[in-house]
Structure 1
Amino acid sequence: MYLENVVVDAANPQGLGRFWGSLLGCTPLTDEPGSYETRLTVADGPTLDLCFEKVAEPPRPSPRLHLEVYGGEADDQAEVVARALSLGARHLDIGQRDVPWVVLADPEGNPFCVMEARPEYAVSGPLSSLPFDSADVDRDVKFWSELSGWMPVDSAMPGALRHRSGRGPLLELCPERGPKDPALKNRVHLDLRLEAGEGADEVAQRVLDLGGRRYEHDWGDLPWQVFTDPSGNELCVLPARDQEAEDAAVSD
């Protein structure tokens, strides 16, 4: 199993997807009614697909998972901020005061940061990190590491994981400010994909054994499974890809 998607709820998937794709230098994948996908590729590292799906609910303050963009040294950081503003972002005051990063909101009001230079971000690529609220950092580091294959690394955050290549964005586990409200779905969540030969039932049991739970929803029959991690954050486990079918589609 591996981490494949960062999924973002959006009122306008095309508009928001194009904003993030332009800011991060992604490659567009799909553009369909209610859905837009773009791919982030890190040299000698992972690929992550950013998927924007249409929802009616507006964004809420203090998201439990959000995107952070690598800025770098002061001049470079200022250029990234200027580019984000030109694409439709705006400055956002969340009480951050005097900090070395710049807080912005994307075109739909989702907060994100343009980070300063840090040693741990030198190999991240344009997406420096994915800060993720956790009720128990050590427990959730184990949960996400065992399921995704990403490895624990040193970071300024209490817990952090990175792709086994040693490159790409950090998944940063941060002590939560308050418990997850089970009635409110996260606006951003992660998708894991089964490898060929992995059984869905076996993997589901691994999720449960590591402290996850099945997520009860009213979305009808889905071809994937929906869970929460031990801190209540939603995640999806997607079926293994049919490689023969994909190869045939490409050849056609």
Structure 2
Amino acid sequence: MALRLVQVNFKARDDSALGRFWAEALGWGTDSEAPGVTNLEPAGFDWPDPTAVCVDLVTVPDPESVKDRVHLDLATASAAHQAELVARLKDLGATPADVGQGDVPWTVLADPEGNVFCVLEPREVYRDTGPIAAVVVDCADPRAMARFWGEAMDWTLHELTDDRAVMRAPEGVGPYLEFLRTPAERTWWNRVHLDLLPYVVSDKEAEVDRLRGLGATDLDVGQGDVPWTCLADPEGNEFCVLGRSTDEASA
């Protein structure tokens, strides 16, 4: 049994407007499976595919205005590309953000709804990831998170220290999933979460039971009767296990 990371889900005040921003940021196309849902993926993409982790934006009544523990790092190919991308994103409505990063070679921005993300300086490790270099999760214990997520998914562990755990799809394509040690205690729901899909969709309930055995807990975020299951990892980060093999918006 196995799961794969297929998309990052943003809670939004306006999925269409925020979707337009991120579509321009990533150079991806937009679609909508239902009112209040915007789906982003590369042109010609056949979901799901490990070459990209897609983005879903879902309108909710009052998405919290808090620091999220999940954010995107965007890749660049050169210093000129980084400068051009930052300038273009600001023109699209991004604003500089100070999260205590100090003097660093990457640029921290917030999208039009306040979700923080980073535009990285060129790094060789991200040369083939596509526009999203990494999905980054702040955590208290990267080693513990690597144990849970390493069992939850079939992704390969590339790096493990007390401060950082790095995983990538076993095919060696697409973005990385990174867990970074941070001192802050989590006391809120995330506006951004991960969506996982079983390789065999009919195995969803068995996969959910397996995740509970690994330390995941059930969540009620008002999702109602839906084909996906909302869970939290051992540090309380929400994620969803999808229940069908086409894009679906999770709560």
Normalization by structure 1: what TM-score? 0.86
Aligned counterpart, 1:53: 58
Aligned counterpart, 2:90: 85
Aligned counterpart, 2:182: 176
- In 2 relative to 1, CA 146–46 (structure 1 residues): closer, same or farther, beyond 3 Å? farther
Distance in 2 (alpha carbons) for counterparts of 1:240 and 1:34: 19
Residues 25-174 of structure 1: matches in 2 within 5 Å?
A: 25-30=27-32, 32-40=34-42, 45-154=50-159, 158-174=164-180
Is the CA contact 2:6–2:50 (under 8 Å) kept in the aligned structure 1? no
Distance in 1 (alpha carbons) for counterparts of 2:193 and 2:115: 14
Is the CA contact 2:201–2:243 (under 8 Å) kept in the aligned structure 1? no
1:9 aligns with 2:11: yes
Of structures 1 and 2, the one with the larger relative CO (CA 8 A, separation 6+) is 2
How far did 1:52 drift? 0.4
1:24 aligns with 2:26: yes
Q: Which runs of 5+ in 1 are unaligned?
A: 243-252
- In 2 relative to 1, CA 6–40 (structure 1 residues): closer, same or farther, beyond 3 Å? farther
Which moves more between the two structures, 157-166 or 194-203? 194-203
How far did 1:164 drift? 1.3
Larger radius of gyration: 1
Aligned counterpart, 1:188: 192
1:232 aligns with 2:236: yes
CA RMSD of aligned residues (A): 2.3
Aligned counterpart, 1:247: none
Normalization by structure 2: what TM-score? 0.86
How far did 1:61 drift? 4.0
Aligned residues: 239
What letter matches 1:164 in structure 2? Answer: P
Q: Among the aligned pairs, what percent are the same residue?
A: 36
Q: Match for 1:199 among 187, 198, 203?
A: 203
Secondary structure at the residue paired with 2:235? coil
Is the CA contact 1:160–1:172 (under 8 Å) kept in the aligned structure 2? yes
How far did 1:58 drift? 4.4
How far did 1:171 drift? 0.8
Is the CA contact 1:72–1:115 (under 8 Å) kept in the aligned structure 2? no
Q: Which runs of 5+ in 2 are unaligned?
A: 247-251
How far did 1:216 drift? 3.0
How far did 1:67 drift? 1.0
Aligned counterpart, 1:214: 218
What CA deviation, in whole Å up to 9, does each residue of 1:103-152 have, x standing for no partner?
A: 11111111111001223212221111111022321221132233232111
Distance in 2 (alpha carbons) for counterparts of 1:155 and 1:143: 13
